Structure 1
């Protein structure tokens, strides 16, 4: 297969005043023509296996309310999952949830390299550049990744509505969760529906931890952000939550 062009990350509101950088790794379900739909049906390409429905719309609303910068990936996570390292099986999965991914079943080492060069390396470099530039300006950023999850997983309903996940540093995640309990009625929990043990915190580990940046991963149940009105309502709830969480970790830093 001919190697496609590089797929650059999309950056919005780059001159924002907030310390927060919002990251949406699973923003798009686009599978470029060179990949022949990965052998999937239209319904499968629109399902959660290909992206996080509602995550980009919510990220954009939060970026507006918080005056935050947003960076999001331009292609489906089935082509390359930007929240996975190149050696992780989930970077180009042969199976996702209950679905086989025919176009990923027998990819060669050279094809894995081609996808890594086309999608992952531009993504990682673009996000790192955002972070490094702000550090150079003395504006140490806060990294928050935005994801959505399905109401039913392997046949079991999920009652959780809002999950906050951390990697090595729990401080911001705990502060956000405490704020969610104080300001909303969302069924919220820490390290749910996934945790770092599920290999979902690659972006945080690679981009935030080495610089000691506050960071957290947010998971919102996707039926709660399925329509524009519900996206707006969720953004109205979560923007004050994120602000309160940021204020709390700033308070902790001054007190230490």
Structure 2
């Protein structure tokens, strides 16, 4: 059982949730930006309710799609239960934007001027338990002779800093492009799908893949879905079905 840290109260609960822990699929879904919830001890972080509900706090629709994929694929899902404003679990502790003072164009007063100790406390409460849960699952799976396949699920905004994004689904990878290559090759319409858009490894977005996938030589991929396309149940189901189809085709042997 995960212990509560000084940052999290008993009312907050654990920092990480695991769905379908005993799932049969080798796919492990990871959703680092699943929640907009802020730990009780951080209050509103100096932000309006509107901003705390917006994309700067989380990836809208990502958890819903991940849950649908978990059910459809019988895959384990690991997701963070707190906002990336408190700590972005897709960034290492040494990264400045792990605890952003500015998100897009919005200042985050609750993150301004944190001491080294305060930053470390955030990482101890949110980052380390999250990634330990992933490590523990992978060790158990590999000890059982299984080879996990990492699929991280994210969403992005149609407009960022005034620039319109036409891409609808991004298939992202770091130095290991095996699974991404296969998925991109299998795309046959339905969405505008592009490689390493709207972000690329140089933006620091592949941390989870780099930490867990590359050292173990596990198949891995990051999926980015434009959030206006998954704003309701119909869009979420369509996107989940599309992604499940690509994964199903690629994990029959072509990408290994």
Provide TM-score, normalisation by structure 1: 0.94
CA 1:23/1:104 → structure 2, altered by over 3 Å: closer, same or farther?
Answer: same
Residues 7 and 39, structure 2, Cα contact 8 Å, conserved in 1: no
Aligned position for 1:44: 51
1:252 offset after TM fit, Å? 5.1
Residues in 1 aligned to 2:36 and 2:239: alpha-carbon distance in whole angstroms = 22
| Aligned equivalents of 1:131, 1:37: Cα separation in 2 | 35
Q: Is the 8 A contact 2:179 2:255 kept in 1?
A: no
Tell me, in whole angstroms, the C-alpha distance in 2 between the residues paired with 1:88 and 1:197.
13
Match of 1:82 in 2: 89
Task: Go from structure 1 to structure 2 and tell me whether the alpha carbon gap of 1:141 and 1:104 turns closer, same or farther (over 3 Å shift).
Answer: same
1:166 to 166, 169, 173: 173
Tell me which of 119, 141, 157 is aligned to 1:134: 141
- Could you say what the CA RMSD is over the residues aligned between the two structures, in angstroms? 1.2
Match status 1:22 vs 2:25: no
1:49-88 equivalent positions in 2, closer than 5 A: 49-88=56-95
Segments of structure 2 that go 5 or more residues without pairing to the other structure are 1-5
1:149 to 153, 156, 165: 156
Aligned residue pairs, count: 248
Do the aligned residues in 2 keep the contact of 1:7 with 1:118 (CA within 8 Å)? no
Moved over 6 A (4+): none
Provide, for residues 166-195 of structure 1, a one-character-per-residue CA deviation record: whole Å limited to 9, x for no partner: 01101101111222x22x321010011001
Instruction: Confirm whether residue 236 of structure 1 aligns to residue 241 of structure 2.
Output: yes
Distance 1:87 1:252, change over 3 A: closer
Taking the aligned partners of 1:173 and 1:3, their CA distance within structure 2 comes to 37
Using the TM superposition, give the Cα deviation of residue 32 of structure 1 relative to its aligned residue in structure 2, in angstroms: 1.5
Higher share of residues assigned helix = 1
Q: Deviations over 1:205-242 (max 9, x none)?
A: 00111110000000000000001121112112221111
Query: Structure 1 stretches of 5 or more lacking a match?
Result: none
Say if 2:15 and 2:82, in contact at 8 Å, map to a contact too: no
* Equivalent residue number for residue 3 of structure 2: none
Alignment partner of 1:131: what SS?
helix
